[in-house]
Amino acid sequence: MGTGKKFGVGIEETILVLLIYLNVIDFLEVIPPDLDYAKKIISWVGLGILLYKVSPTKIFFGRKHKWYDIALILSYFCFITKNMISYAKVALELSKGPLRNLYELILANSNFFEISLINVGFISLIILALIMTFKLEIFSPSTLYIIHEHGKPTKNVLKQTFRFLSILLVVFGFFYIVFNLIMEWLAIAVDAPLLMVGLASYFIVAFRYRHVLKTTNLIYKLGNMGEEFYEKFVNLFQSEKIYLGITGLLVLHLLTDVGNFMLPYLFSIHDDLYFGQFLQPHQPIISLLSTEITATANPGTLVLAYFANIFTTLSFLIIPAFIWNNISKKQNINFNKVFLIIFYACISVFIFAPLFKFQRLGNESLRGIDIITQKILVNSSYTIESTLIVTAIVGIIFAILTLTKFKPLIDIFTFFISTGFFGYYIFLYFSDIFFYYLENIPYLFSISATIPGIFTILALGYGMIFYVGGFFIYIFSVLTN
């Protein structure tokens, strides 16, 4: 008994160590393309297993039904295989290994795979929703209970129809709003940066408090970092705190771009399979600075301008998460005074001498926002020196206001400024999705891909509700907190 138990733990630790190792070498940009592709599939499988443990049926109905969970998760995976097709295209360009034949096979039959699997997933979800309408009872707490669907299946035809449509909308909505985004973020885009942040945080905390680092604890903490977050987050969708789940997912759009763009820019390392899908080059900050610093007589002012841009951009991407955390804890917004002074001092540079450009991706493989680095000296509205003078003046004014009784007003003002940026970000993100769907719907129907066409129309509808509705829910939640 003891040996078996130890052996079981050893296998689990070995798997976690393997995943941690793959994520570390992925972050350090030394992972071969074939191994990177395999890692993303393993991460998918791992998150799929986690979702099974969390249980979609428990979220929807308030009780776990394992066979329905398995069927739902497999159906969801049918919809997102297009992501792995996109990565196969980049992997084929980079790979010199044994998987080239596999990539070629996937790409040669990409349309068939994508359309066929969407058909399978779509029909499977409809059949599952129909079966669950007549078989499963709805308990509290659950998503369906929140929308006033509860109790045992009824024999009334009208109520059965309403119940079926409610289940169908919830099942599809969970895929679009939760499953699709979380799979892309945690399994593909930011898994390695997230783990590296966790690794650094763990060692910093341990060193600060002089804790003894236990190997087992370290392995489990790092291996389950994203998964623990995933589990806690999806559970919000089965309670009356569902608004926190919706607004939290919007906030996560900005946080993931810290991992997608800012960390690679700062550390000059990136995921080749991910960045290989972008249409424009993304030049690391050190490389850009070294190019510009030779073209100015005042390198010190240029470095300050770079710092101001980085600080302001990171602040805009992180502030909504700080506010969301306050909402979840029912706390008033109270920004750090030093942070506010630096933030308002730097914001002038962010506006008049921008280092980063935010724009729609406009990409067939990826949808959303692209953050591109650009030369400050070329894109500056005024000289760097004059911009820094304005920065100093603004910093002094806000330092005086922040350190006096006007601090609460500055907090509110910061909320509105950050929300304005948040709204612009969501506008860019959703408009990219909107136009992509709008272009693809007529095309899908023109090639008789009826089910993918209907699925895309549904996705467009969910997108409008989620992005537009979710943003206003965010504002309302803060104002009523």
Q: Which pLDDT score, from 0 to 100, does residue 273 have?
A: 63
Q: Which pLDDT score, from 0 to 100, does residue 330 have?
A: 85
Q: Reply yes or no on whether the pLDDT at 2 is more than 50.
A: no
Q: Which pLDDT score, from 0 to 100, does residue 191 have?
A: 53
Q: Reply yes or no on whether the pLDDT at 6 is more than 70.
A: no
Q: Reply yes or no on whether the pLDDT at 185 is more than 50.
A: yes
Q: Which pLDDT score, from 0 to 100, does residue 251 have?
A: 92
Q: Reply yes or no on whether the pLDDT at 347 is more than 90.
A: yes
Q: Reply yes or no on whether the pLDDT at 209 is more than 90.
A: no
Give the residue-averaged pLDDT of 231-247: 78
Q: Which pLDDT score, from 0 to 100, does residue 23 have?
A: 59
**More confident: 148 or 260:** 260
Q: What is the 3-state secondary structure (H, E, C) of 57-125?
A: HHHHHCCCCHHHHHHHHHHHHHHCHHHHHHHHHHHHHHCCCCCHHHHHHHHHCHHHHHHHHHHHHHHHH
Give the residue-averaged pLDDT of 15-24: 57
Q: 242: which residues sit within 8 A by CB, 6+ positions away?
A: 143, 146, 236
Q: Which pLDDT score, from 0 to 100, does residue 447 have?
A: 86
Q: Which pLDDT score, from 0 to 100, does residue 210 have?
A: 46
| 189 — pLDDT class (breaks 50, 70, 90) | low
Mean of per-residue pLDDT scores for the chain: 81
pLDDT tens digits for range 370-416:
899 999 988 888 888 888 999 999 989 999 999 988 999 999 999 99
| 110 — pLDDT class (breaks 50, 70, 90) | confident
Q: Which pLDDT score, from 0 to 100, does residue 202 have?
A: 46
Quickly count: other Cβ atoms within 10 Å of residue 4's Cβ.
8
Q: Which pLDDT score, from 0 to 100, does residue 283 have?
A: 87
pLDDT tens digits for range 249-288:
899 889 888 888 888 888 877 666 677 677 677 888 998 9
Q: Reply yes or no on whether the pLDDT at 42 is more than 50.
A: yes
**Prediction pTM value:** 0.82
**More confident: 386 or 365:** 386
| 143 — pLDDT class (breaks 50, 70, 90) | confident
Q: Which pLDDT score, from 0 to 100, does residue 5 have?
A: 42
Q: Reply yes or no on whether the pLDDT at 12 is more than 50.
A: no
**More confident: 277 or 181:** 181
Q: Reply yes or no on whether the pLDDT at 9 is more than 50.
A: no
Q: Which pLDDT score, from 0 to 100, does residue 124 have?
A: 95
Q: Reply yes or no on whether the pLDDT at 81 is more than 90.
A: no
| 27 — pLDDT class (breaks 50, 70, 90) | low
